[in-house]
């Protein structure tokens, strides 16, 4: 697998950031880009989109139409579009980086079952700091045990379409997994109209939306005598984009399979 990269949804927030970073990347090259059908950017050069000179990369409305121009795709779009891109990559032996969130359980199962068809990395959050946070939360959950009451609070900008965030759900799933249960069995979302006392074993998850907040996640472990908070604040989308590009470089040397940032960063070495 080579170093030619296609950015899907290039006119979106993350797409533009990825394109900007790829222009000067020492090992990866931006060689293709796509946008949804009907976008005003179709057939225009990516350089115009990001304020650069002509890059000789015209934006297409079809991944299949530019299939010979890239080795792997970075996709931060929407679930339906991502599943379509997954099929194209599987049919043409192309790598795929999935940063899209908001998948249903069935859609996520479709992705997981593609392990023998395509090499891909999927993550709810590609920022290296967030993935370090995942590991810290997992370790804290092990140390504090099921007696600690866990609440997860996340905040994002007012344009985010899924709630809770994929990152918050991943944090909840990590805690639940350590406890030998599942998030679907233990999650309490927002507690609207809930007049009962807090149930033992609950994992509270709360989504806040407003302004231009890039992303904030706090995991609270509360016990009768103390409280531990593990918090991550994203100051820029560049963190997510840099992590996705790091995943691209790592994926280029991997066989078919469904991987995560735990694999990319070798986080399993930290117990």
Domains of the chain by residue range: 4-122+237-269, 128-234
Confidence at residue 1, expressed as pLDDT on a 0 to 100 scale: 73
165 CB-near residues (< 8 Å, 6+ apart):
101, 124, 154, 156, 207, 215, 217
The one catalytic residue in 25, 135, 160, 256 is: 160
What's the fold here for domain 128-234?
Dihydrodipicolinate Reductase; domain 2 (3.30.360)
What residues in the chain have per-residue pLDDT under 70? none
* Assigned token pair, 247: 């995943």
Confidence at residue 16, expressed as pLDDT on a 0 to 100 scale: 97
Confidence at residue 249, expressed as pLDDT on a 0 to 100 scale: 96
Q: Could you give the CA distance from residue 230 to residue 233 in angstroms, rounded to a whole number?
A: 10
160 catalytic per annotation = yes
CA-closest candidate to residue 131, choices 232, 206, 229 = 232
What's the fold here for domain 4-122+237-269?
Rossmann fold (3.40.50)
Cis peptide before 115 (omega within 30 of 0): no
Confidence at residue 253, expressed as pLDDT on a 0 to 100 scale: 84
The one catalytic residue in 156, 192, 217, 231 is: 156
232 catalytic per annotation = no
Residue 221 backbone dihedrals phi, psi, to 5 degrees: -105, 110
Q: How far is CA 154 from CA 88, 146, 223, 230, 267, in A?
A: 34, 22, 21, 12, 23
Strands of 191-251, DSSP E: 203-209, 215-223, 226-234
Confidence at residue 245, expressed as pLDDT on a 0 to 100 scale: 97
CA-closest candidate to residue 58, choices 1, 10, 120, 114 = 10
Rounded to two decimals, what is the model's pTM? Answer: 0.85
Confidence at residue 237, expressed as pLDDT on a 0 to 100 scale: 87
């Amino acid at each position: 697998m080579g170093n030619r990269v296609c950015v899907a949804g290039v006119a979106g927030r993350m797409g533009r950031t990825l394109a900007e970073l790829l222009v000067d990347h020492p090992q990866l090259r931006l060689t293709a880009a796509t946008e949804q059908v009907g976008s005003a950017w179709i057939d225009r050069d990516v350089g115009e989109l990001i304020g650069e000179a002509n890059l000789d990369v015209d934006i297409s409305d079809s991944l299949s139409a530019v299939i010979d121009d890239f080795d792997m795709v970075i996709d931060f779009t929407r679930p339906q579009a991502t599943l379509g891109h997954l099929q194209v990559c599987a049919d043409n032996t192309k790598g795929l980086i999935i940063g899209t969130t908001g998948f249903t359980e069935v859609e996520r199962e479709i992705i997981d079952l593609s392990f023998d068809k395509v090499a891909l990395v999927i993550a709810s959050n590609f920022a290296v700091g967030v993935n370090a946070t995942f590991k810290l939360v997992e370790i804290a959950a092990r140390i504090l045990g099921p007696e600690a009451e866990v609440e997860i609070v996340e905040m994002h900008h007012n344009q985010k379409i899924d709630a809770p965030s994929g990152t918050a759900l991943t944090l909840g799933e990590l805690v639940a997994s350590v406890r030998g249960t599942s998030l679907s069995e233990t999650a309490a979302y927002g507690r609207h109209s809930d007049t009962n006392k807090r149930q033992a074993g609950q994992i509270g998850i709360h989504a806040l939306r407003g302004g231009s907040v890039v992303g904030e996640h706090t995991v609270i472990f509360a016990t009768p005598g103390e409280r531990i908070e593990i918090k991550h604040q994203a100051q820029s989308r560049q963190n997510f984009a840099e992590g996705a590009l790091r995943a691209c470089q790592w994926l280029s040397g991997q066989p078919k399979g469904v991987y995560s940032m735990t694999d990319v960063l070798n986080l399993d070495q930290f117990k």
